[in-house]
Structure 1
Amino acid sequence: MGFLKRTHKQFDYQPRYYKGEGNPYKIEHKLDKFRKTAGKNKGLKGKFSDAVDDLKNPDKSVNKTLIIIISILVLIFLYIIDFDLSIFKRN
Structure 2
Amino acid sequence: MSIAMTMEEIQKGVVEIVSRNSLHNPEKVNLHSNIKNDHGIDSLKIVNLLFDLEDEFGIIVDQNSMVFDNFATAEKISSYVYQKLGNP
Name the TM-score class by shorter chain: under 0.3
Q: TM-score, normalised by structure 2?
A: 0.20
Q: TM-score, normalised by structure 1?
A: 0.20
Which of the pair is proportionally richer in helix?
2
Name which one, 1 or 2, has greater alpha-carbon Rg. 1
